[in-house]
Amino acid sequence: MSMSQTTETSTASPARSSRFLAGGRKVATSFAVILTTLFGLLVITFVVGRLVPADPVISVIGDQADQATYDRVYKEMGLDQPLYVQFGSYLSDVVRLDLGQSTLTKQPVASDLARVVPATIELATLATLIGACFGIPLGVVAAVNRGTWIDHVARVVGLLGYSTPIFWLGTIVILIFYAHLGLIPPGGRIYIYNEGIIDGPTDSIIVDSLIAGNFEIFWSAIHHLLAPAIILGYAAMAYLSRMSRSFMLEQLRQEYILTARAKGLGKRPIIWRHAFRNIRVQLLTVVALAYCGLLDGTVLIETVFAWPGLGQYLTSALFVADMNAVLGAVLLIGMISIAINLLSDIVYRFIDPRTR
Amino acid sequence: MMKRKLAALASVAILLAPFDGARAKTPDDQLVIAMSMSAIRGLDPQELNQLEAAEVVANLYDRLIELSPDKISEPKPSLAESWTVSEDGRTFTFKIRSGVQFHSGNPLTAQDVEWTLHRLVKLGLAPSTDLRQWGFSADNVDALIRATDESTLVVETPKVWNANLILYSLASFSTSIVDSKLLQRHEKDGDWGRAYLQTADAGSGPYRLKTWRANQLLIADAVPTYWRGEPAMRRVFLSHMPESAAQRLQIDAGDIDIAARLSYTDLRGLEAGGEITVDKTPGFGFYYLALNQKDEVLSNPKVREAFRYLIDYDGLSATVMRYYGIKQQSIIPAGLPGAISENPYKLDIEKAKQLLAEAGYPDGFSKVYYATPVTPEYEVAQSLQANAAKAGIRLDLQGGDHIGKFRGRDFELFSARSGERLPDPHAVLQSYATNADNSDKAKLSGLLAWRSAWDVPKDIQEMVTAAAHETDQAKRVELYERINRAYLASSPALVTSFQRTDAKAVRKEVKGYVGHPTWLTRWDTVTKSAVPESSGSESQ
């Protein structure tokens, strides 16, 4: 293959340059789409943020402050400017990579985000892994055994995961496994009195404790991560098993499967080497979607398990109308989603030659 | 396949094994307090204006005067070893304790005290009212508050006030003494080190700030060389836990020592369990109902009076208000000079109907009612709504953040709770019973009476002013009693029903954590002892 490619490229340079041009146009279009998406995201968040009834000034100065203090802080926060001026000045800061300061934490939003994102990434990554490792095989097995009890069980398991509210499940898990059985920790990333012992470079306690060689805190961090990740992973599993079941069913109906069977191929090679091979691209899309969904969808589980991640940061900022923090978090979530989608596009090219 | 399943199960078991049953108790020399930290917006004592942040500042800093929670009206020496008041009552001379060091290692001197008080007045932020209300301003403070040497501070008041008012103000969190040399080093564009101090510690208190992550956690470490002695709790953690249910589970299991944000049901459940005590701290504020006097119907005194008969004081006392308030219909909080124990009103629908008929509204009326959707304010509002309906008043109850509308006088009915920090009737009365200019343009939006557009009877306002300047304590008490009765009889536009109390659940082994009515709860008085036998944990 590589031989033929070399020959082709060396003999067809006009074709190559036109392809290069087309490629360049494609990149430029994607870039424009990304910028428009992010801009739209910021505009909508900004406008919605102003419509929220919470008064950002009162949340800073308290209810009892007099009018002079109110007016002064109102001006300090730039709220006396027209909306488009406020947005314009925010945008010009963002272009210079300055996300502003959070009124809640009194820290630059960028450094706040750098602190909370690792917690969410730890949680979402493990949850996606759990969801994919259990959900995809479950979906495949259900499709292969369509209509049998295995299929029914798989569908019920999926349906439950799909329809059970995560905060309810989280609360029940805490009630049974923490309050009654004492098997899991109460929430947070580590026990609170283990806080402040390791100040590592990455803000991922798992990584930092390993670097510091503190295995007690490392295990504590893993232990704290398990319950929320399993619950989130269960929801991801439900989604992924449903999707892989339907992708698989579609493949199993194809004629090449019949041909393979007619050739006398065994069941296992037909399923995994033929049918499953063909659903990998679709699966990659849904896994990427599930991962994006988990990154910004961890809000509820972060609240129940006191997990100091992006979701918790965003909600607490919303409650006090801390707009710089809200906009920064939304922008970051948008960028991560775009990055994951781009990444999955790139991976397609490796596993599906038709997309090259 | 089976083998693989077994392997998976085994690996989960291995992960859980080291923790099986190892439910963690907090270490004996560390204190864990759970609270909602979302209101902590910075740690600058001269800027913050909020209970939880004040508790942190109370422990990172010292003040000239101390008020102990059991004798709240008795000023005691702290950084000021002693003081004298001049004959005319206007000049206060403080002798500053020597040998005290800031956490930075800088010695604390009278110059730091002077710099701090100037900083408070000149920054002019919300808590600056603690000094500004006595006539200090950016223009006069340099001349009126001055260090005459390393250990002497002189404070002159522009007018004569009751000496206690000044001393109480110097015990407030806003007058916490900051390290002037440290802050001057971090000063940016003449900001008095404000940007730096938001997240830093420039104090001399029993604890130093180690870590603060907003809405997550705060860690403070004991200062071994603290001038009153090393605190027993080596480290104190504040943990952000806004959910009452989560706090209840964790305090029950011993993962936290103190829970500061619990619902009525959770408090009742914990109290019944026997391992936890509920500490109720009376605060200097009320649960109130504000009736906008710009409204024609609500400005009728008989209508205002009718509302007093629509509150179910006793029913609420026994249920949702059990931990949050003490029934009180007069205006001076219990425990302060002039307080009375009379509560003449009770729920009486017929009486309310009769008053409405006399006012010319026999068929009632409809109004919009704003209330904060939090426990117990909302339950109290719902109860009023139900009772009002029985008397023909249709209240459209709307939850949400309506403080802005209340401050702008753009409401009909509004209810919330207030809290003052000065242990003196003057603080409450100033807000509830003075309104020097009732016009819209006056914008006295710091005063509840102005927000309600209530033109407080002039005789009450004059008595409030006279009492604040009165130096004879006996005469003052008498004056406050008269104000209290006059307010009660005036069918006020601000109807008070309960004096607020702040309830916290504390594990029985924790001693010395005493809620402070002016928000200065201390951690250096806390110790932990073994759980008493009677608490029912002998099976361990």
pLDDT given for residue A96 in this prediction? 82
B12: nearest CA partner in chain A: A226
B277 confidence band (pLDDT: 50, 70, 90)? very high
Name the CATH superfamily, with its identifier, for domain B283-501.
Answer: Dipeptide-binding Protein; Domain 3 (3.10.105.10)
Rounded Cα distance between A319 and A52, Å, is 9
A185: nearest CA partner in chain B: B23
B62-77 pLDDT, tens digit per residue, is 999 999 998 998 999 9
Best of A180, A183, A193, A319 to disrupt the B interface (most B CBs within 10 Å) is A193
A236-281 pLDDT, tens digit per residue, is 999 999 999 999 999 888 888 888 888 888 888 888 888 888 888 8
What pTM was computed for the model?
Answer: 0.84
pLDDT of B290 over the 60 cut: yes
Range with the poorest average pLDDT among A14-23, B49-58, B258-267, B339-348 = A14-23
Are A179 and B252 an interchain contact pair (Cβ–Cβ within 8 Å)? yes
The residue that leads in pLDDT, A308 or B461, is B461
pLDDT given for residue B322 in this prediction? 92
Are A193 and B213 an interchain contact pair (Cβ–Cβ within 8 Å)? no
Range with the poorest average pLDDT among A1-5, A100-104, B294-298, B406-410 = A1-5
pLDDT given for residue A296 in this prediction? 67
pLDDT of B533 over the 70 cut: no
pLDDT given for residue A13 in this prediction? 59
pLDDT given for residue B535 in this prediction? 41
pLDDT of B118 over the 90 cut: yes
Rounded Cα distance between B30 and B527, Å, is 9
Is the bond into B376 cis (omega within 30 degrees of 0)? yes
**Mean pLDDT across A54-61:** 75
A211-241 pLDDT, tens digit per residue, is 888 888 899 899 999 999 999 999 999 999 9
Helix (H, G, I), strand (E, B) or coil at B31: strand
Are A306 and B246 an interchain contact pair (Cβ–Cβ within 8 Å)? yes
Q: Which helix H or strand E contains A166, and what residues bound it? A: helix A166-173
Q: In angstroms, what separates the C-alpha of B145 from chain A's closest C-alpha?
A: 23
Provide the token pair at A54.
């919470």
Residue B427 is given by DSSP the state H
**Mean pLDDT across A332-338:** 88
pLDDT given for residue A320 in this prediction? 77
**Mean pLDDT across B217-246:** 94
Q: What is the mean pLDDT of chain B?
A: 91
How far is Cα of residue B362 from the mean position of the Cα atoms in its chain?
41
Q: In angstroms, what separates the C-alpha of B287 from chain A's closest C-alpha?
A: 15
Rounded Cα distance between B493 and B482, Å, is 19
B399-437 pLDDT, tens digit per residue, is 887 888 898 899 999 999 988 888 999 989 999 999 999
B183 confidence band (pLDDT: 50, 70, 90)? very high
B539 confidence band (pLDDT: 50, 70, 90)? very low
B14 confidence band (pLDDT: 50, 70, 90)? very low
Domain ranges for chain B:
2-43+205-275+508-528, 62-192, 283-501
CB A56 within 8 A of CB A318: no
Rounded Cα distance between A356 and A153, Å, is 39
Nearest by CB to B30, which of A61, A193, A222?
Answer: A193
pLDDT of B279 over the 60 cut: yes
pLDDT given for residue B503 in this prediction? 92
Helix (H, G, I), strand (E, B) or coil at B352: helix
B3 confidence band (pLDDT: 50, 70, 90)? low
Share of chain B above pLDDT 70, in %: 94
Length of chain A: 356
**Mean pLDDT across A190-210:** 84
A6 confidence band (pLDDT: 50, 70, 90)? very low
Are B26 and A59 an interchain contact pair (Cβ–Cβ within 8 Å)? no
pLDDT of A5 over the 60 cut: no
pLDDT of A157 over the 50 cut: yes
A355 confidence band (pLDDT: 50, 70, 90)? low
Residues 6+ apart with CB under 8 A from B142: B118
Rounded Cα distance between A231 and A298, Å, is 11
B335-376 pLDDT, tens digit per residue, is 899 999 999 999 999 999 999 999 999 999 999 999 988 888
The residue that leads in pLDDT, A258 or B206, is B206
B251 confidence band (pLDDT: 50, 70, 90)? very high
Are A104 and B215 an interchain contact pair (Cβ–Cβ within 8 Å)? yes
pLDDT of A9 over the 50 cut: no
Are B26 and A103 an interchain contact pair (Cβ–Cβ within 8 Å)? no
- Minimal CA–CA distance to B203: which of B102, B53, B97? B102
Are B49 and A67 an interchain contact pair (Cβ–Cβ within 8 Å)? no
- Minimal CA–CA distance to B21: which of A184, A112, A140, A137? A184
Best of A60, A63, A74, A76 to disrupt the B interface (most B CBs within 10 Å) is A63
Per CB-CB distance under 8 Å, the chain A contacts of B45 are: none
Q: Which fold has domain B2-43+205-275+508-528?
A: D-Maltodextrin-Binding Protein; domain 2 (3.40.190)
pLDDT given for residue B20 in this prediction? 41
CB B58 within 8 A of CB B288: no
Q: What is the mean pLDDT of chain A?
A: 84
Residues 6+ apart with CB under 8 A from B126: A61, A62, A64, A65, A69, B47, B48, B49
pLDDT given for residue B350 in this prediction? 97
The secondary structure of A264-278 as a DSSP string is: T--HHIIIIIIIHHH
pLDDT given for residue B411 in this prediction? 96
A66 in B contact zone (CB under 8 Å): yes
Are A107 and B199 an interchain contact pair (Cβ–Cβ within 8 Å)? yes
Are B126 and A104 an interchain contact pair (Cβ–Cβ within 8 Å)? no
User: What are the Cα distances from residue B204, in Å, to A283, B126, B225?
Assistant: 60, 23, 10
A58 in B contact zone (CB under 8 Å): yes
The secondary structure of A277-290 as a DSSP string is: HHHHHHHHHHHHHH
* A residues 235..264 contacting B (CB < 8 A): none
pLDDT given for residue B498 in this prediction? 96
Nearest by CB to B249, which of A104, A115, A186?
Answer: A186
Are B38 and A320 an interchain contact pair (Cβ–Cβ within 8 Å)? yes
**Mean pLDDT across B187-214:** 93
pLDDT given for residue A356 in this prediction? 61
Please give the single-letter amino acid code of residue B422.
L
pLDDT given for residue B110 in this prediction? 98
A61-98 pLDDT, tens digit per residue, is 777 677 777 888 888 888 888 888 888 888 888 888 88
A204 in B contact zone (CB under 8 Å): no
Helix (H, G, I), strand (E, B) or coil at A114: helix
A54: nearest CA partner in chain B: B401
Q: Which fold has domain B62-192?
A: Dipeptide-binding Protein; domain 1 (3.90.76)
In this structure, are strands B217-222 and B235-240 parallel, antiparallel, or unpaired?
Answer: antiparallel
Q: In angstroms, what separates the C-alpha of A131 from chain B's closest C-alpha?
A: 15
Length of chain B: 540
Per CB-CB distance under 8 Å, the chain B contacts of A222 are: 15
pLDDT of B534 over the 50 cut: no
Share of chain B above pLDDT 90, in %: 76
pLDDT given for residue A193 in this prediction? 85
